[in-house]
Structures are given as structure tokens and as C-alpha cells.
């Protein structure tokens, strides 16, 4: 499924220190953040300084043995520093240095489209796809598990030449040569020194020591963002059509930092090295379906590296996470575009017809176009225990060659269907009918013919099975793909929700994008599932996760970058957020897939991404690095913590503190607050018509009041800026989460929408 390494960071700087180290001490990996202003002028490069510093820590007896293995990476862009293997006494000496910023030990983590482009409204001959030439000449850097270069998605038919500004390369490694790159896949590197330093070996039995993808995750995300057109792609017949990425003419560069080894670990030092290299190589967009634990920004390797990328004009897009609960968003730094996962208007089904003529449809991914005809239906009359299909409850003689109907379960409710499916398979049932209003089975769980029906439908089947002496299934057929499913989109049950655990005053996730049953390229080297004792492999597979949602937004960012070359990362994110929609195709508010109840901006952010509207947003809420520094100044960080995040020894905090110019509003109130009111100051930049007048329209629920001053904005030129103040107030007995919208509307079809959320603690 999705890929979510929980990664820690460590940051520290140092000068040359002479000390003998005992060979008996155990070494660990540390990331060392150096104050580059203290580099002695005698060193021409920072790496030379790093190596000399490490050499000075060794005893003469261990110098020859240790000097090659201590330094792992030297970082130049995400921070000035390096990662190295150090003993406790060596580290202790380093921390005495006046140039020291901070130290943290290495940590590790574990692993976390034929229709989605159409669902996003992207058409070849109109809108954003046409205006951007499908993302031509834009470079998307994917930080992930590698790439399968032979996939048709990475073919370069119709691609433009590699941009001359590109500085990257394709490395040589296990089953990977530079010749595998082309005008589509223009860069491929791997980073594993942190992994190897921890004693984890890479072999062809568990991964490839090269940019080649073993797990399939990196191939999936990169082809989702920018895969070329591939006719006839499908998941064993499901979702059949032409697969293509969101930006099919954009170039792809893969940075492999996560590994499908036996330990399934990825390391902060490797992730940092990949991001550092991507900045150096010259990517325009950086997409990460990775996350760290909930850490303050000065400890968060992705937050620190991303701020450096933003400073270089690189748009950074990250997955929000798959924890599916309140206040569990990852990658919530305000300079990152954080993406939640939504559903598509597409379902995959089987059709069941009973002997009495009743025909029903249910969810299925069973990978064979088979028809099961005229087979006995088993329910286990007069034996409730067997009917439930709990583990060990079915006998082979009773269910062999029959379709088994499983009723409610006493197993863990979330995994009940999975337990029942395994029990039917164990007992030798021919096929299974399972009841669940929401199926949590993955496509590769369908190792036997199976259909999942809602409880109401299951009750009709049960009624037939209990009233007929010899109930039978007339036809059970598979591999059906249905479009136009309502309601959609919904917020995926697993998608992480806000408020952000680090900065709850910034609305996260920012945006919702397709993240359920996304078809994209995978690796054909590993079986995706087993059916009838046969291992099945495929070139394209359905994956779900916020990992799948992030590359959709990265692809849209690439299209916008192709049209608006000079827009900042903040302007691109603002355009994406303020043009999003929050109404499903059923003309109701976007719902929560798990509960079926209306979702809130804490679930879907500004709404679901709407690429064609984002091309011409009218107004944007722009920001630069100084704005983010001012934001950090309000968090109470000390000098060392500030240095760790902004990677400089001197900075200025504007006084009085300025508010972050974000395209959404969050007011947090405590029980003792009276009145419960808050003002927000914002500045919008005109990127639409030279002359225009925008008027404020407010959508306000009962228990909430919103005012805007002024309530109209007049622009007489492109890129002119205008400010306004928004006031929000809620009743003392308002719900815990209440929200409305501010929409700036002109007469040229621009609607600049921002959610206004109040949290009543």
C-alpha cells in the first residue's frame, strides 16, 4: 500500500577536534548540521572540511580503518553538514564545538491511472493540459523506492529533449545502467549508505542495489505524476484503458531512498541525501510519499530539506498520511503542499444472480473473467456459529464446491471480512459472499472468487438461503468496471485528518486528490497475489493511499509550472487551493467514506483539486522565504533551533510579527476565551485581468459570524496587491468544528475560495 517511513533527524555542526577514540566503542549514524560560516578558509569545499573534521576525531591506530566508513553523505543544499558513523565519545567532543547546532541519532521507518486524469477534468485538447503542452520541459523529482525503467510508462515516445538546465545523471548499479534512461526518465540515483551503515545488506533476494524498483511503490507514484500514454493497461481486466500520468510530457527523475529489504527500513540520512541531490540536479517539482513522526520543524528532516527546496523555487508536494484519525497529518510544514486521499467515481464489481432471479452487485477485484454458474449456496442453516464464518468454524465436507454466504462476524470488525475470506479459503469453499458496508480488503486480498455486498443486500441473500431447501447461485461473474459512482469524491477512510499536530493553526491537509484504487505502473518482478496456487504478476496495479494522492498534485503542479514559469511555489499552491471544490457529484458536501457523514476542511483541506480552474485563479496568496522565517519566529524557537530549520546563522524577524499569508483560515478557541473572536490579515495578488473588482461573498453556518473589511477589492494592474482583514467569531456553545467560506468573486468567472474553520476546544 502506501509508503510512510517514520524518520528522525539529527543536526549538528563542528570544528576540527583532536581526540583518540577507543576501538571498542560502538558507532552509530548521525546527521551533522554545520554552521557553514565557520568553515576555515583553508578548505576549498565543505566536503573537504567535513572529511578533515572526521579525520581529526580518529586515533592514529584506527585512522586507516575508519576514515572511509565514517562519512556517509556531505550535504550542500538541504543543509550544510554531513552524516557519519560516530562513537559516543566522538559525538561528545563534537557537541563542545562553538559551531554546533543540534544532534539527533539516525532513525528509520517502514513502508507506509486510466481514469483519474479524466476524473480531474484533464483533456488533451482543452484546458490546462493543452495550455501546458502536457507539462513539457518540467522536471518532477520523485523521492521514493526506485523505478522500473522498462515500463511503457517511462518510454519517451513523443517526449521533448532533456532540458539543458538539467544537471542530473543516471547511475550504474545492480540491473541498472545509464542506457536505461531516456528523454522521459532523465535521472535515476539511489541512496543507501545510511541503510548499509546500520548493517542492513541489500541483495537481489530482497532489493536491487541501484535505482531499480523492487517494491513497486516508486514506479507507481512516478508514473501517476508523469507516466507516458500506455494503451490497454489494466489490473487483470479492471480499470482497462489508456494509462497516463497527470503531466505525461513532463520529465521524471527518480531518487531511491527507501528499500524493500527484509527490514523494510529507510533512513533519514538517505532521504536527506536524495532531496539534496534533487535540488542540485535542478528539479522543478519534488514529490514525496514519505513521512516522519510528529516532530517540531527543527527535528523534521523533510521540513528542513523542503524549506531549502522552496528557497530554490521548487514546489514540494507530500502525502498527508494514512492514519485516518483526527490530528494525524504528516508533512504539515506551511511551505509544503500536503495532500489527503479521496475516492474516484469508479468502482470494481462482481454480479451475483440467485436461482430465484434476484440479481445484486458487490465489490470485487477477483482477477479472472470467469463465470460461476449453477453452484450450491451454503449458509449453514440452523447453525449460527458456522454461518458466521469465524476462524475454524467451517468444515471442508460442508462447503467444498459451494458458494459460502458469511454473516456478521465476532472477529475484529475492521478486519472481519479478511478473517472470513481466509476461513472460506481454508475450508475449500468455491467462492464467498461477504457482508460489509465498507470493504477494507485490498485488491491482492482476493485470492478466491469473492463478492462483498452491503448488509442490506446481504439480508436479501440470507432470506433466500434460509427459505429454500436447496439454494443455488445461478451466475456469479467478475471483472466489471463501473463509472459515475455517487457520491464521489469522498475522503478515503484511511486519509489522515487535521488539525495538524505540530501547528494546528495552519489548515492541513491543504488539498484532496485521488488516492483510492489508482491504476499505475508497478514492478513485474514480484508476484502481486496468489490465486489457485499460481503467483500472478502484472505491469499495472491498483494501489491506494495518500502516497497515490500526492503525485496527482505533483503532476498538476508541473502543468501549472509549465504555464506560469515565474510563479512561486506558494502561488502555485494557492491557485490549487482556492479553486478546489467541496461538493460531490451527488450535489452534497464531500463525505467521509468511513462514516458516510459530511466531512470538514480538517478532512479535505480547501477541497478536491480542480486543475483546469487552477490555471486561472484570478488572485493568489503569495509568500516567500522571509514570510516563512517570520512564521518560525512566532513559534518560540531558540537560536539553535532556528538555525537548524532555516540553515543560516543570521536572520531578521519582522516586528511586529506578521501573520502567515495562507489561503485558508483556522481559529482555535479555548473554553475560557470570551469573546471567541479572531482577526486575520491577508494580502492577495492579482494574476488575472489587468482591471477587475472582486467582491466578498460569505458562506456562514449558524453559530458562526464572519466579516471582511474591505468587502471589495479593486485592481488596476497585473500583480497588484491588496490587503484585507477577516474577522471570525463563534458562539460559546458552537460545535467542536464549525466552518464557512470566504469567496472573492469578480465578473470574469473567477471565484477565489478559502475555508474559514473554527475549532472550539
Provide the domain limits for residue 332.
Answer: 116-341+489-614
CA angle 302, 250, 219 (to 5 degrees): 60
Query: 222 lies in a domain?
Result: yes
The answer on 243 and 310 residing in a single domain is yes
The answer on 750 and 627 residing in a single domain is yes
Q: Which residues are part of the catalytic machinery?
A: 144, 217, 547
The end-to-end CA distance of the chain, in Å, is 34
Distance, in Å, from the CA atom of 103 to the CA atom of 699, rounded to the nearest integer, reads 48
Query: 84 lies in a domain?
Result: yes
Per residue in 716-740, pLDDT (tens digit) is 999 999 999 999 999 999 999 999 9
The answer on 320 and 197 residing in a single domain is yes
Query: 4 lies in a domain?
Result: no
C-alpha cell at 88: 559516543
- Look over the chain and give the mean of its residue pLDDT values, rounded to a whole number: 89
Q: Are strands 472-483 and 285-288 parallel, antiparallel or unpaired?
A: unpaired
DSSP-assigned beta bridge partners for residue 337? 317
Q: Residue 630: which CATH number?
A: 2.60.40.2310
Q: Which residues contact 87 (CB under 8 A, 6 or more apart)?
A: 21, 22, 25, 26, 27, 28
Q: Which of 45, 77, 108 is the last residue of a domain?
A: 108
Instruction: Indicate the number of domains in the chain.
Output: 4
Query: 9 lies in a domain?
Result: no
Q: Residue 63: which CATH number?
A: 3.30.70
The answer on 470 and 396 residing in a single domain is yes
Instruction: Provide the b/e sequence for 197-211 (b: ≥16 CB within 10 Å).
Output: bbebebeeeebbbbb
CA angle 73, 306, 109 (to 5 degrees): 60
Query: 747 lies in a domain?
Result: yes
Q: Residue 328: which CATH number?
A: 3.40.50.200
The answer on 157 and 79 residing in a single domain is no
Q: Which of 561, 580, 614 is the last residue of a domain?
A: 614
Distance, in Å, from the CA atom of 209 to the CA atom of 184, rounded to the nearest integer, reads 22
Q: Among residues 93, 104, 106, 386, which one has the least CA distance to residue 267?
A: 106
Region of 545 (left: φ > 0; alpha: ψ -120 to 50; beta: rest) is left
Residue 73 confidence (pLDDT) above 80: yes
Q: Which of 614, 644, 677 is the last residue of a domain?
A: 614
Query: 1 lies in a domain?
Result: no
Q: Residue 353: which CATH number?
A: 3.50.30.30
Q: Which residues contact 31 (CB under 8 A, 6 or more apart)?
A: 9, 10, 11, 12, 81, 82, 83, 104, 106, 268, 269, 272, 301
The answer on 120 and 95 residing in a single domain is no
Distance, in Å, from the CA atom of 355 to the CA atom of 373, rounded to the nearest integer, reads 10
Query: 15 lies in a domain?
Result: no
The answer on 496 and 476 residing in a single domain is no
Distance, in Å, from the CA atom of 713 to the CA atom of 512, rounded to the nearest integer, reads 29
Per residue in 6-57, pLDDT (tens digit) is 333 222 222 233 333 334 578 888 888 888 778 888 888 888 888 888 888 7
Q: Indicate the pLDDT class of residue 262, thresholds 50, 70 and 90.
A: low
Q: Which residues contact 459 (CB under 8 A, 6 or more apart)?
A: none
* More confident: 389 or 637: 637
Query: 752 lies in a domain?
Result: yes
Q: Among residues 621, 619, 721, 726, which one has the least CA distance to residue 663?
A: 621
SS3 category, 758: strand
The answer on 517 and 441 residing in a single domain is no
The answer on 380 and 473 residing in a single domain is yes
Least confident range from 13-27, 31-45, 189-203, 375-389: namely 13-27
The answer on 327 and 185 residing in a single domain is yes
The answer on 395 and 267 residing in a single domain is no
The answer on 121 and 260 residing in a single domain is yes
Least confident range from 38-52, 345-359, 634-648: namely 38-52
Q: Indicate the pLDDT class of residue 114, thresholds 50, 70 and 90.
A: low
Residue 196 confidence (pLDDT) above 60: yes
Q: What DSSP string runs through 392-405?
A: T---HHHHBTSEEE
Please check whether residue 321 is in contact with residue 34, taking contact to mean a CB–CB distance below 8 angstroms.
Answer: no
CA angle 357, 362, 363 (to 5 degrees): 155
Per residue in 327-347, pLDDT (tens digit) is 999 999 999 999 999 999 999
Amino acid at each position: 500500500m502506501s509508503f510512510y517511513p517514520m524518520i528522525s533527524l539529527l543536526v549538528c555542526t563542528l570544528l576540527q577536534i583532536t581526540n583518540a577514540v577507543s576501538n571498542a566503542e560502538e558507532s552509530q549514524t548521525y546527521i551533522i548540521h554545520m554552521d557553514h560560516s565557520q568553515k576555515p578558509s583553508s578548505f576549498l569545499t565543505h566536503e573537504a572540511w567535513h572529511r578533515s573534521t572526521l579525520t581529526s576525531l580518529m586515533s592514529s591506530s584506527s585512522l586507516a580503518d575508519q576514515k572511509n566508513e565514517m562519512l556517509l553523505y556531505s550535504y550542500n543544499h538541504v543543509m550544510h553538514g554531513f552524516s557519519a558513523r560516530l562513537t559516543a565519545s566522538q559525538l561528545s567532543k563534537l557537541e563542545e564545538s562553538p559551531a554546533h547546532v543540534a544532534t539527533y541519532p539516525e532513525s528509520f521507518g517502514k513502508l507506509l491511472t486510466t481514469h483519474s486524469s479524466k476524473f480531474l477534468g484533464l483533456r488533451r485538447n482543452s484546458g490546462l493540459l493543452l495550455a501546458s503542452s502536457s507539462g513539457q520541459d518540467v522536471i518532477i523529482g520523485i523521492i521514493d523506492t526506485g523505478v522500473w525503467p522498462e515500463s511503457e510508462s517511462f518510454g519517451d515516445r513523443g517526449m521533448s529533449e532533456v532540458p539543458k538546465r538539467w544537471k542530473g545523471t543516471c547511475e550504474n548499479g545492480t540491473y541498472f545502467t545509464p542506457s536505461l534512461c531516456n528523454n522521459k526518465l532523465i535521472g535515476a540515483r539511489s541512496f543507501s549508505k545510511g541503510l548499509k551503515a546500520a548493517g542492513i545488506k541489500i541483495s537481489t533476494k530482497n532489493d536491487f542495489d541501484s535505482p531499480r524498483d523492487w517494491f513497486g511503490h516508486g514506479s507507481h507514484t512516478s508514473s501517476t505524476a508523469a507516466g507516458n500514454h500506455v494503451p490497454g493497461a489494466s489490473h487483470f481486466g479492471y480499470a482497462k484503458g489508456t494509462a497516463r500520468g497527470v503531466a505525461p510530457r513532463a520529465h521524471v527523475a527518480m531518487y531511491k531512498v527507501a528499500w524493500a529489504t527484509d527490514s523494510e527500513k529507510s533512513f533519514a540520512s538517505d532521504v536527506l541525501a536524495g532531496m539534496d541531490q534533487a535540488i542540485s540536479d535542478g528539479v522543478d517539482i519534488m514529490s514525496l510519499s514519505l513521512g516522519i513522526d510528529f516532530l517540531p520543524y527543527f527535528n523534521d528532516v523533510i521540513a528542513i530539506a523542503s524549506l531549502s527546496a522552496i528557497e530554490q523555487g521548487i514546489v514540494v508536494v507530500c502525502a498527508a498520511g494514512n492514519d485516518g484519525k483526527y490530528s494525524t497529518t504528516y508533512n504539515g510544514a506551511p511551505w509544503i503542499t500536503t495532500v489527503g486521499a479521496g475516492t474516484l467515481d469508479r468502482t470494481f464489481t462482481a454480479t451475483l444472480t440467485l436461482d430465484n432471479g434476484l440479481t445484486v452487485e458487490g465489490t470485487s477485484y477477483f482477477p479472472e473473467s470467469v463465470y460461476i454458474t449453477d453452484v450450491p449456496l451454503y449458509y449453514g442453516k440452523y447453525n449460527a456459529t458456522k454461518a458466521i464464518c469465524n476462524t475454524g468454524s467451517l468444515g471442508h465436507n460442508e462447503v467444498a464446491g459451494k458458494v459460502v454466504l458469511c454473516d456478521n462476524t465476532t472477529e475484529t470488525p475492521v478486519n472481519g471480512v479478511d478473517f472470513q475470506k481466509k476461513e472460506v479459503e481454508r475450508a475449500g469453499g468455491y467462492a464467498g459472499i461477504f457482508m460489509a458496508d465498507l470493504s477494507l480488503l485490498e485488491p491482492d486480498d482476493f485470492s478466491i472468487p469473492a463478492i462483498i455486498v452491503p448488509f442490506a443486500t446481504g439480508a436479501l441473500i440470507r432470506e433466500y438461503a434460509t427459505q429454500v431447501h436447496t439454494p443455488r447461485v445461478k451466475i456469479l461473474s467478475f471483472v466489471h468496471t463501473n463509472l459515475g459512482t455517487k457520491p464521489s469524491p469522498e475522503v478515503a477512510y484511511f486519509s489522515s485528518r487535521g488539525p495538524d499536530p505540530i501547528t494546528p493553526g495552519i489548515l492541513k491537509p491543504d488539498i484532496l486528490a485521488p488516492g483510492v484504487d489508482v491504476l499505475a505502473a508497478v514492478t513485474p518482478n514480484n508476484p502481486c497475489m496468489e490465486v489457485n496456487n499460481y503467483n500472478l504478476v502484472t505491469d499495472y496495479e491498483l494501489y491506494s493511499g495518500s502516497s497515490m494522492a500526492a503525485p496527482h498534485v505533483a503532476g498538476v503542479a508541473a502543468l501549472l509550472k509549465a504555464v506560469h514559469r515565474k510563479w512561486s511555489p506558494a502561488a502555485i499552491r494557492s491557485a490549487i487551493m482556492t479553486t478546489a471544490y467541496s461538493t460531490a457529484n451527488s450535489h452534497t458536501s464531500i463525505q467521509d467514506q468511513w462514516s458516510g457523514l459530511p466531512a470538514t476542511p480538517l478532512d479535505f483541506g480547501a477541497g478536491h483539486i480542480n486543475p483546469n480552474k487552477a490555471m486561472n485563479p484570478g488572485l493568489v496568496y503569495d509568500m516567500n522565504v522571509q514570510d516563512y522565517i517570520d512564521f518560525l519566529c512566532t513559534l518560540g524557537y531558540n537560536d539553535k533551533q532556528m538555525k537548524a530549520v532555516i540553515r543560516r546563522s543570521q536572520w531578521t524577524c519582522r516586528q511586529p510579527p506578521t501573520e502567515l499569508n495562507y489561503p485558508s483560515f483556522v481559529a482555535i478557541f479555548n473554553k475560557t476565551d470570551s469573546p471567541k473572536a479572531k482577526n486575520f490579515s491577508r494580502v492577495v495578488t492579482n494574476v488575472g485581468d489587468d482591471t477587475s473588482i472582486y467582491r466578498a461573498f460569505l458562506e456562514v453556518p449558524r453559530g458562526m459570524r464572519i466579516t471582511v473589511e474591505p468587502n471589495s477589492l479593486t485592481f488596476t494592474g497585473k500583480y497588484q496587491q491588496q490587503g484585507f482583514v477577516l474577522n471570525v467569531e463563534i458562539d460559546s456553545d458552537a460545535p467542536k468544528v464549525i466552518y464557512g467560506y470566504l469567496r472573492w468573486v469578480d465578473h470574469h468567472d473567477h471565484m477565489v475560495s478559502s475555508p474559514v474553520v473554527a475549532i472550539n476546544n
